[in-house]
Amino acid sequence: MKVILKQDIAKLGFINDTIAVKDGYARNYLIPRGIAIQATEQNVKILAEVLKQKAHKEEKIRTEAQELATAIEAVKLTIGAKVGTSGKIFGSVNAMQVANALKEQGNIEIDRKKIVVDSDKIKEVGEFTAVVNLHREVKASLIIEVVAD
């Protein structure tokens, strides 16, 4: 019997996969527990439409993330920090400060959890690079210049 899985099952398949299983396994285990539905002509058409809509939404999200990545890469941030005589910063520059500077200087609002700063924290004056994870396939490089305040 052919069934459409409604959730991931180890060693069997992933969600929305159409697989062939033995009739008893489908009737007595998969279908009663809501793990799968029978792959009738109508259910296959519904699945095709759901996958089509999901792909369209995913493409739209990816396109928006790509546009945002282009805007982020065009910005060069300048962050001021208090500096000692040796060129070391009192404290460090972290992702939260980078997110705030990006909002102020570039009018781009990004969650601080999506920003990955080189070596976790910047502790001296100079130019550094941070990576912004916008989508699982889209990442943007951000140039940060730390200057003495």
Show me where the domains of the chain are located.
2-60, 67-148
Compute how many other C-beta atoms are within 10 angstroms of the C-beta atom of residue 117. Answer: 20
Two tokens, residue 78: 């300048």
Pairing outcome for strands 88-93 and 122-124: antiparallel
Yes or no: is domain 67-148 CATH 3.40.50.10330? no
Query: What's residue 92's pLDDT?
Result: 86
Rg of the chain, C-alpha, whole Å: 25
DSSP 9: B
Query: What's residue 46's pLDDT?
Result: 95
Residue 81: partners with Cβ closer than 8 Å, 6 or more residues away: 89, 90, 91, 93, 125, 146, 147, 148, 149
Identify the CATH homologous superfamily for domain 2-60: Ribosomal protein L9, N-terminal domain (3.40.5.10)
Query: What's residue 120's pLDDT?
Result: 61
Two tokens, residue 87: 């060129």
Query: What's residue 85's pLDDT?
Result: 84
Cα end-to-end distance, the chain, whole Å = 71
Low-confidence residues of the chain, pLDDT below 70?
Answer: 119-120
Query: What's residue 119's pLDDT?
Result: 64
Q: Using an 8 Å Cβ cutoff, are 88 and 123 in contact?
A: yes
Residue 57: partners with Cβ closer than 8 Å, 6 or more residues away: none
